[in-house]
Structure 1
Amino acid sequence: MKQILIAILVSCLVSVIQTSDDCPNIISRAGWDARVPEIVQYVAFPLRMVIIHHTVTAECSTMVGCRSMVKSIQTYHMDNLNFGDIGYNFLIGGNGKVYEGLGWHKQGAHTYGYNTKSVGIAFIGDFRKKLPTDAAIQAAKKLMACGVKLGELTSDYELYGAKQLSATESPGAQMYNRMMNWDHFTE
């Protein structure tokens, strides 16, 4: 068992996408052992919208736990919701790590009617009554700044909570109240 955990950790550490010194390290799809997507749809970039979600699952705070949770979310999205892949572009664990869902340039399945013009970022956990960790919040802010630097997001992008655009509680009341004070938040 110990050797298996060490192998998983080494695999995760090796499978980090290096984008820029100013960008967070992003755990690649290989790093969490993603399934091959059934469908891949691309979007024109830079995108002008970022939509924040929560997964309404258990939280995770370790590489092994978050890797397992992201894999579970992908399985649910593909097998139960009939999505061609995981629905989010990126997911953020309580450990402050960013996990590549679909990644940049690909159309998500996170907010009906907005998937072709937005990046969907999901905090792993349920944030109706509590906030994500400070590490997770800082990772999200760094990811968005990185998106601008890489030309994936426009410099004047608009930030929304999913509940502003569809009938959902996402990203949770506590998270939504916090993000109202972030740069780019749009009423």
Structure 2
Amino acid sequence: MILYLGIMLTSQVFDTTGSPALVSVPNDSDGNEVYTYNFPFTTRAQWKARLPKETLPLPSPVPYVVIHHSYTPAACYYSEECCQSMRSMQNFHMNDRGWWDIGYHFAVGSDGTAYEGRGWGILGAHALHFNNVSVGICLIGDWTNAVPPVRQLKTAQALIAAGVDRGYIKSDYKLVGHRQVRQTECPGDALFKEIQNWKHYSPFPASVDDLPEVIQLGK
């Protein structure tokens, strides 16, 4: 594996076998600290993100991870295609929804790459009334009738593990689907069924009706 150390702007790095290598990316919120990921990772600069209108800090570590699907744009299988999907989602969220930035903290493509959205430590706009206790990860595509490719699922899980390692997500975090905290069909029936097999999946809250109890209990 190839490992780049030091402060640098990076692109996706692959070894000569085509497997993802360790990727080092600068963490803007922490000054000079550099994070190393063992999965393909694309920064905001690399997918040509617009600057956010504003940002607010997200209290860390958060107790929840919320899984989404994009529905549209559809699944993307190549870097250029996925970067375009990120720009499309950001434009929709900022221009049509009037949000400060793309709503998700991260998105994951069917190419097995994690794409930086708002990033760690920034308040998201992905789950109304639940944003200040969660990190939102979107699996790009419509996962109503089909489960995402294995590499997409594995990168999403590795991304969560990285968040735990870096102190942004609690080690005993609870994983939920978007539909459990908002009136929506997201993250699609097939993906929602899939994440119920993940280690940290929690059936509570079961619906938006449970949110007052979540807040009251501080869960």
1:63-78 superposed matches below 5 A: 63-78=79-94
Alignment correspondent of 1:27: 42
Q: CA deviation at 1:16?
A: 6.4
Please state if 1:83 is matched with 2:102.
no
Which amino acid in the other structure matches residue 132 of structure 2? T
Superposed CA offset, 1:21-53 (max 9, x none):
5x4342110010000000111111111100000
Q: Which residue of 2 aligns with 1:98?
A: 114
Counterpart for residue 29 of structure 2: none
Q: Is residue 139 of structure 1 aligned with residue 151 of structure 2? A: no
Instruction: Specify every segment of 5 or more residues in structure 1 that has no aligned partner in the other structure, as ranges.
Output: 1-10
Structure with larger RCO (C-alpha < 8 A, sep 6+)? 1
Alpha-carbon contact 1:39-1:84 (below 8 Å) kept: yes
Counterpart in 2 of 1:6?
none
Taking the aligned partners of 1:72 and 1:165, their CA distance within structure 2 comes to: 25
Shift of 1:152: 1.0
- 5 Å matches for 1:31-180? 31-57=46-72, 58-180=74-196
Name the amino acid aligned to 1:60: C
Q: Render the CA deviation track for 1:101-125: whole Å, top value 9, x for unaligned.
A: 0000011110000111100000000
Q: Secondary structure at the match of 2:81?
A: helix
Q: TM-score, normalised by structure 1?
A: 0.90
Name the CA distance, whole Å, in 1 between partners of 2:36 and 2:163. 11
Q: Which one-letter code corresponds to 1:37 in the other structure? A: P
The structure with the greater share of residues assigned to helix is 1
The TM-score, its normalising length taken from structure 2, stands at: 0.77
Structure 2 gap segments, 5+ residues each: 1-9, 14-22, 26-33, 204-219
The SS at the match of 1:130 is coil
Aligned 8 A contact 1:159 1:186 in 2:
yes
Determine the C-alpha separation between the residues in 2 that align with 1:130 and 1:124.
13
* Secondary structure class of the residue paired with 1:148: helix
Q: Is the 8 A contact 2:179 2:187 kept in 1?
A: yes
For residues 171 and 93 of structure 1, the distance between their equivalents in structure 2, rounded to whole angstroms, comes to: 14
1:170: Cα distance to partner? 0.7
Q: 1:16 to 1:65 in 2, by over 3 A?
A: farther
What amino acid maps onto 2:113 in structure 1? K
